[in-house]
């Protein structure tokens, strides 16, 4: 893909979807566009997730770059088609880089997506996530506990760190309110993935429970959302729902060959790479919650 400044219409295609298209058709259009455009996705993500995030993005068709130093952001962030920020292994130095990258992305009108890992686990992390939210991410994707902590704005006394202690459906009202307050699309992962713009609420129902036994699958699906937003920036709600569903569908296919979490991780990446039109049209399951 050429430099964004020289190739803007192709990088940010508008109206790539006909609004009357079915969800499975929208999902296929997004995946096909991703494979064709191969957008550059800057990832400022945690140490645990870097390998899986990069491999999920590559297997889906995107071009990931794990570049996070403040010295590089002014040069590099303007070249990217979307930015992914994940606070999983946060320090004050990383937070400075995240804010700088979000600000540069905003100046360039580049969409960026936030994963507020363990938002309620500590005061430092919660404050950092709330400050990042003020920088207007296009999409925020967390588990139920994370989204509820952001909405309440208080440290979660029952926090289990990066894992959720709630079902995604427990967080629907918090997600809607958070979307209304921030203007971001808010997604809550779980058995059913919830996506809302504050008015509409959509459920993405693909996936297997064993995803919870592989670290950083949540981080990786947020990265995939970032890539889908890169190819359809004007429809972040649709891009978020289809990314969640495509990731879940790849896990369903991977599960047929997996013996446990370690082999599911491998087969998930293979399945994402091999997903074809017929399977997407037949099996993407998005609808009312
Ligand atoms: N019970 C479930 N059944 C099916 N899929 C699930 C279930 N729970 C989670 N998932 C899927 O697992 C993936 C990760 O979601 P999860 O809610 O575990 O994220 P997370 O807690 O942020 O994970 P991490 O912090 O490890 O990255 C998502 O694709 C989600 O749809
Ligand atoms: C286990 C873990 N700890 C901080 S980030 C991370 C990856 C899953 O969120
Ligand atoms: Mg997470």
Q: What residue segments make up the domains of the chain, in order of their start?
A: 21-287
ipTM of this predicted structure: 0.99
Proportion of the chain above pLDDT 90, given as a percent = 93
> How many Å separate Cα 93 from the centre of its chain?
23
| Residue 212 CA, closest ligand 1 atom number | 18
User: What ligand is nearest to the CA atom of residue 88?
Assistant: 2
Q: Decide if pLDDT at 121 tops 70.
A: yes
Q: Of 51 and 10, which is predicted with more confidence?
A: 51
87 CA distance to ligand 2 middle (Å): 9
CATH of segment(s) 21-287: 3.40.1190.20
Q: Decide if pLDDT at 83 tops 80.
A: yes
Taking residues 238-249, report their average pLDDT. Answer: 99
The pLDDT, as a whole number, for residue 18 is 63
Compute the CA torsion angle 206, 211, 212, 218 (nearest 10 deg). -80
Q: What per-residue string of b and e applies to 154-178 under the rule 16 or more CB within 10 Å gives b?
A: ebbeebeebebebebebbbebbbeb
**Contact between 128 and 95 (Cβ < 8 Å):** yes
| Residue 117 CA, closest ligand 1 atom number | 25
Please indicate whether residue 48, judged by its CB atom, sits closer than 6 Å to ligand 2.
yes
Taking residues 57-86, report their average pLDDT. Answer: 98
* pLDDT interval class at 238 (50, 70, 90): very high
pTM comes to 0.95
Nearest CA to ligand 2 atom 7: 216
Please indicate whether residue 248, judged by its CB atom, sits closer than 6 Å to ligand 1.
yes
* pLDDT interval class at 7 (50, 70, 90): very low
């Amino acid at each position: 893909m050429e430099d964004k400044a020289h190739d803007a219409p192709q990088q940010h295609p508008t109206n790539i979807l006909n609004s009357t298209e079915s969800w499975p058709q929208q999902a296929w259009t997004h995946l096909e566009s991703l494979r064709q455009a191969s957008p550059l996705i800057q990832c400022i993500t945690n140490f645990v997730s870097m390998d899986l995030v990069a491999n999920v993005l590559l297997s889906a068709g995107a071009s990931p770059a794990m570049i996070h130093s403040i010295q590089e952001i002014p040069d590099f962030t303007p070249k990217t088609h979307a930015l992914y920020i994940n606070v999983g292994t946060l320090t004050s130095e990383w937070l400075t880089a995240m804010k700088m990258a979000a600000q540069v992305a905003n100046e360039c009108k580049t969409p960026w997506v936030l994963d507020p890992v363990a938002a309620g686990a500590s005061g430092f992390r919660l404050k950092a996530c709330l400050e990042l939210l003020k920088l207007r991410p296009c999409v925020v994707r967390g588990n139920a506990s994370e989204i509820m902590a952001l909405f309440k704005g208080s440290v979660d006394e029952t926090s289990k760190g990066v894992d959720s202690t709630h079902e995604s459906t427990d967080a629907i009202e918090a997600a809607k309110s958070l979307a209304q307050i921030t203007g971001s699309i808010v997604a809550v992962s779980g058995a059913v993935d919830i996506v809302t713009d504050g008015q509409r609420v959509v459920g993405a129902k693909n996936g297997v429970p064993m995803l919870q036994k592989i670290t950083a699958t949540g981080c990786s699906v947020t990265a995939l959302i970032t890539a889908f937003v890169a190819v359809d920036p004007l429809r972040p709600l649709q891009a978020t729902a289809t990314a969640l569903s495509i990731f879940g569908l790849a896990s369903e296919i991977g599960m047929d060959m997996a013996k446990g979490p370690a082999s599911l991780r491998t087969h998930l990446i293979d399945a994402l790479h091999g997903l074809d039109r017929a399977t997407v049209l037949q099996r993407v399951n998005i609808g009312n919650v």
